[in-house]
Amino acid sequence: MTTAQAHRETRLTSMFDALDRGDVPTYLTFLSEDASLRFGNTEPVVGRAAIKASLDDFYTTFRTVRHDHVATWTGPDGAAVEADVTYEKLDGTEAHVHAVTICRFNGDDEVADYRIFVDLAPLFAA
């Protein structure tokens, strides 16, 4: 692994830690101003402000999210992060899913393209 790849892996760990703390302002600092976030097959959300609004909406449905790291694969311009993810619903119950997130970086090592691949059916099962 190159020094740049190790640096990006550390940044990704810090980014997910911020998200797991519910610290949206810090989480957003890891994204480029014009970042694109795509969750599954939904339309991409573009820009930090729109991503913040999307996360604010997320937290009206779920209390917390926690990523338990499985593995990270890094390349010259991006990385894939595999995680077991736990969502705590507002009623205190939890749902668990397995997810892979693909991040592509810009020249400033900010995440410019963020794609989450996950089956959300367990989150909404009765």
Q: What is the band of 58 on the pLDDT scale with cuts at 50, 70, 90?
A: confident
Condensed to tens digits (0 to 9), the pLDDT of residues 6-20 reads: 888 889 999 999 999
Condensed to tens digits (0 to 9), the pLDDT of residues 84-119 reads: 999 999 999 999 999 999 999 999 999 999 999 998
* 37: its two tokens: 């976030």
CA 96 → CA 10, 54, 67, 84, 110, distances in Å? 25, 21, 10, 7, 28
Q: What is the band of 126 on the pLDDT scale with cuts at 50, 70, 90?
A: low
Q: Give the domain ranges of the chain.
A: 3-124
Condensed to tens digits (0 to 9), the pLDDT of residues 24-33 reads: 999 999 999 9
Task: Report the topology of domain 3-124.
Answer: Nuclear Transport Factor 2; Chain: A, (3.10.450)
Phi and psi torsions of 113, nearest 5°: -140, 120
* 13: its two tokens: 């760990």
Whole-number average pLDDT of the chain: 92
